[in-house]
């Protein structure tokens, strides 16, 4: 899967939701500033998830990270390119929305909406922890780590 991770020119990335993301979208400014600070401090940044359609890549997950990288003056951003079209990614995007709604109702007690970020970090074999909204540990993660370690060794 690592072969699907690419540094992509910011100018080649678009959003299907906004013709001009910087003029039309109002992101969570506090979160964008948090990401920009991490970029400046050279901290780990989870890849955004995109699909390729023609000459452009469309964001499936990672609008805030894309926005922050562009504002920070970065020329490229690390992306995981998944197969298919943007329309093919609809079930994935719907799942993310439903998990965010659940997290908001439970005051982010379970951190389920970060699953795509954790998946993207795992592709790079990075143990991602969302420091903006601290992640709670689940027994299942320890169980899955044991399985992963057994498969490696």
What is residue 78's predicted lDDT score, i.e. its pLDDT? 96
- In this structure, the chain runs to a length of 153
Residue appearing with tokens 């390729």: 52
> How confident is the model over 27-54, as pLDDT tens digits?
999 999 999 999 999 998 889 999 999 9
| Domains located in the chain, CATH noted | 2-152 (3.90.1530.10)
The string over 79-108, giving b where at least 16 C-beta atoms fall within 10 Å of a residue's C-beta and e elsewhere, is bbbbeeebeebeeebeebeebeeebeeeeb
Q: 122-139: per-residue pLDDT in tens?
A: 887 877 656 555 544 444
Strand-strand pairing, 76-82 and 48-53 = parallel
pLDDT value at residue 139: 44
pLDDT value at residue 126: 77
pTM of the model: 0.78
Q: Write down the pLDDT at residue 3.
A: 64
CA dist., res. 12 & res. 81, Å (int): 13
77-117 pLDDT, tens digit each: 999 999 999 999 999 999 988 988 998 898 888 878 777 77
């Amino acid at each position: 899967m690592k072969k699907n991770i690419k540094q992509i020119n910011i100018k080649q990335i678009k959003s299907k939701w906004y013709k001009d993301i910087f003029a039309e979208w109002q992101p969570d400014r506090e979160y964008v500033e948090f990401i920009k600070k991490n970029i400046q401090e050279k901290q780990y940044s989870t890849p955004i998830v995109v699909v390729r359609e023609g000459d452009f890549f469309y964001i499936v997950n990672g609008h805030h990270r894309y926005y922050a990288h562009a504002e920070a003056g970065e020329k490229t951003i690390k992306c995981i390119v998944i197969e298919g079209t943007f329309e093919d990614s609809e079930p994935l995007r719907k799942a993310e929305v439903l998990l965010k709604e659940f997290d908001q109702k439970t005051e982010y007690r379970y951190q389920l909406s970060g699953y795509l970020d954790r998946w993207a970090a795992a592709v790079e074999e990075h143990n991602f922890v969302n420091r903006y909204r601290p992640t709670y540990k689940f027994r299942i993660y320890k169980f899955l780590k044991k399985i992963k370690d057994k498969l490696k060794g």
